Amino acid sequence: MTTQTRPVLFDGSALTIEDIVALAHQQATPRLSEQAEFITRIDKGASFVDRLLKEEGCVYGVTTGYGDSCTVAVPLALVEQLPVHLYSFHGCGLGDYFSAVQTRAILATRLTSLALGYSGVRYRLLQHLMILLQQDILPLIPQEGSVGASGDLTPLSYLAAVLAGEREVLYQQKRQPAAAVFKALQIKPLHFKPKEALAIMNGTAAMTGLACLAWQRAAYLSQLTTRISSLAVIALQGNAYHFDEKLFSLKPHPGQMRVAARMRDDLQCHEQAPRNDSRLQDRYSLRCAPHVIGALEDALPWLRQLIETELNSANDNPLIDAEGEHVLHGGHFYGGHIAMAMDTLKTTVANLADLLDRQLAQLVDPKFNHGLPANLSGAPAEQAMLNHGFKAVQIAVSAWTAEALKLTMPASVFSRSTECHNQDKVSMGTIAARDCLRILELTEQVAAACLLACVQAVELRGGLVELGTNMQKTITDLREHVAALTSDRAMEADLRVCLELIRQQHWQLYD
């Protein structure tokens, strides 16, 4: 477990992507406000629902069936049984389970929304959610089965069921029945009040938690791709003047300008090497690196706004305005903004994979690499005919890139009419988020391979002392973990080491 460094307080105040990511990686300690004013505000919503029941008011999902069944009245004597049926019949998820990191992000995201006080739940429910986070009792949640409108009903049903002491959890790295873990820890299962299971399930927490993780990984990958591109420019004897400050002031996209400035900083100590051809301009994968990476850099602030607005929203249905004594029926469970954010992010990230793939293709090919050994082989001359260097790695990179590009089809355009045509336009936001995370995994694999290749190429080129401090540090630090390729060996272990460093965000790249 990572050392916990700071508290994150759930009191109805806005949280950030970084808060959710820190909680997901156990780099922060979750805390639930114990202020009397906060507790009163939360409980007031549940009390208002109770009063409506006593007055025999009609409330969707409380005194009616769910979805298209909203016209079916539920007798007051059966109202308390309805939440159990809700999480029970939605227990049909399939596919792999969300990881521990992803599940913590989902829990923290749902708690953020419920803490706003518009969901008609008791403070006690928030306490039970907090127990799961603090004790690291993680519901086993299948990834597949949400269309992203009416919220993440099926994934979040597993959270509701666990709070009630049912289904399975991951606890102390073991898959166990929730009931057994609760008994061992003396945790009483939650008996849901009428609106509470619906409040947990009818929201966008799964897709939004995943989106927070995706955004943070993409932001780091943007910087890493910039550093790799700078190494590729040096290895390929590229033209550092392609990143001229005046040049980029004439097309002033802020993110693009920022990437060019980072590359100028990386390359400022590099003496321009003699060119081996007469071209004034490098191929696009070098010359246009700031433009490719810059598209992601310019999207990140906008995507942050979309994700954090969703994170800090009341997004279940109906919403309970206890102060104004209104029940607000609407569609805030619709995940359209997260779907658009994830479809956008996955496209810009896949373009990073494509950029790096093209750079590597130049590096390994003696027709284009300006005198480097074929396939970046580091073997001595007497062994050169036996060794194939990064040949197979380049093939693998091509495969990973192709798979990433294939997944960029926007999920949000594949809306399906479901549930007796009640849910007739749905967001597919959770599928988009899952696609985005898969593209990030593939692009990180591409980055790991290209970082190893670029460092090998720069070392083969020589002149390391001419590099700036940051560039030298990247190379020397990598070599502390992975040796140079001087003779053919299976590269899987090296790639996995480098990949893990990337996912830990090991390198501090740019301010």
CA distances from 56 to 60, 73, 78 (A): 12, 11, 13
If we measure between CA atoms, which residue out of 263, 462, 426, 255 comes closest to residue 338?
426
Helices (H) and strands (E) in the chain, counts: 18, 9
Active site annotation includes 60:
yes
Write down the catalytic residue from 60, 66, 171, 220.
60
Under 8 Å between Cβ of 263 and 243? yes
If we measure between CA atoms, which residue out of 138, 135, 109 comes closest to residue 187?
135
Cβ count near 280 (within 10 Å): 9
Under 8 Å between Cβ of 208 and 307? yes
Query: Whole-angstrom Cα distance, residue 280 to residue 276?
Result: 11
Q: What is the DSSP letter of 422?
A: T
End-to-end alpha carbon distance in the chain: 27
Collect all residues with Cβ–Cβ distance below 8 Å to 459 and sequence separation of at least 6.
Answer: 378, 475, 484
Phi/psi for 329 (5° steps) reads -95, 125
| Burial track 49-71 (b if 16+ CB lie within 10 A, e otherwise) | beebbeeeeebbbbbbbbeeeee
If we measure between CA atoms, which residue out of 113, 167, 164, 112 comes closest to residue 139?
167
Cβ count near 462 (within 10 Å): 8
| Burial track 308-333 (b if 16+ CB lie within 10 A, e otherwise) | bebbbbbbbbbbbbbeeeebeeeebb
Collect all residues with Cβ–Cβ distance below 8 Å to 40 and sequence separation of at least 6.
Answer: none
Partnered with residue 10 across adjacent β-strands are 32
Under 8 Å between Cβ of 349 and 436? yes
H helix runs in 1-99, sequence order:
17-24, 36-54, 82-89
Active site residues: 60
